[in-house]
């Protein structure tokens, strides 16, 4: 009974959500695309000819946005879940924290890259503090990998949850990047603790 109530609430929320409706009209696979669009409008992340890694890419709306709006992009997307192919993108199904998949990414680009974006989050358990800690670990893993793969003036964007590990992440970004900003897009649900950290210029 409780599960059915939660399902109905989710369906009703989706119907009322302007970003869900907009994504269907514009042909994007999820409402998450509008978070990236807002981040990009504010921080000017992407440019034509950029090399980009999209972490936690499924179902692929961030990848869609990048390809749709920029030319001559070299783009790799990875997720634990397999998702439908998108244009001329190198898609990987696997865990980017494992060396075998890091090698695949490095072999594809063959050189340092311009941008890493990550919308990764763990599957929620219902324990918000635990979810925050686990998602923070993904952010830290992505950040450390970015340190190895980004150009000196590269950009790193990642989802973070405001919680017990928030300050730890901020301190870590300051050690790795010279510029750091935290931003919550309007497209993020009000009740969500998610924000995004936008970092640039490696130390």
pLDDT digits (tens, 9 = 90+) for 158-180: 999 887 788 989 999 999 999 99
- How would residue 51 be classed by pLDDT, with cut points 50, 70 and 90? very high
48 conformational bin, left if phi > 0, alpha if psi -120 to 50, beta if neither: beta
**128 pLDDT higher than 70:** no
Tokens 């369906």 — which residue? 11
Question: pLDDT tens digits, residue range 96-120?
Answer: 999 999 999 999 999 999 999 999 9
**Mean pLDDT over residues 3-21, rounded?**
62
- Superfamily assignment of 30-202 in CATH? Vaccinia Virus protein VP39 (3.40.50.150)
CA 200, CA 176: separation in Å to the nearest integer? Answer: 9
Question: Which class for 73: exposed (0-12), middle (13-18), buried (19 or more C-beta within 10 A)?
Answer: buried
The enclosing H or E element of 133 equals helix 128-149
Catalytic machinery residues: 159
Task: Provide the pLDDT for residue 114.
Answer: 98
pTM of the model: 0.90
């Amino acid at each position: 009974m409780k599960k059915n109530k939660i399902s109905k609430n989710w369906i009703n929320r989706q119907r009322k959500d302007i970003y869900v409706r907009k994504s269907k009209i514009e042909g994007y696979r999820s409402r998450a695309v509008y978070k990236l669009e807002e981040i990009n409008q504010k921080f000017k992340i992407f440019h034509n000819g950029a090399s980009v890694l999209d972490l936690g890419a499924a179902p692929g709306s961030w990848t869609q946005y990048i390809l749709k709006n920029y030319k001559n992009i070299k783009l790799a997307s990875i997720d634990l879940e397999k998702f439908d192919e998108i244009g001329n993108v190198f898609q990987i199904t696997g865990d980017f924290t494992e060396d075998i998949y890091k090698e695949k990414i490095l072999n594809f680009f063959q050189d340092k890259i311009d941008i890493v974006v990550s919308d990764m989050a763990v599957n929620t358990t219902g324990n918000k503090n635990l979810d925050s800690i686990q998602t923070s670990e993904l952010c830290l893993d992505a950040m450390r990998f970015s340190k190895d793969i980004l150009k000196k003036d590269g950009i790193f964007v990642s989802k973070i949850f405001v919680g017990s590990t928030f300050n730890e992440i901020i301190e870590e970004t300051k050690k790795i990047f010279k510029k750091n900003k935290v931003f919550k897009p309007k497209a993020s649900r009000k009740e969500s603790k998610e924000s995004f950290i936008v970092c640039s210029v490696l130390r």
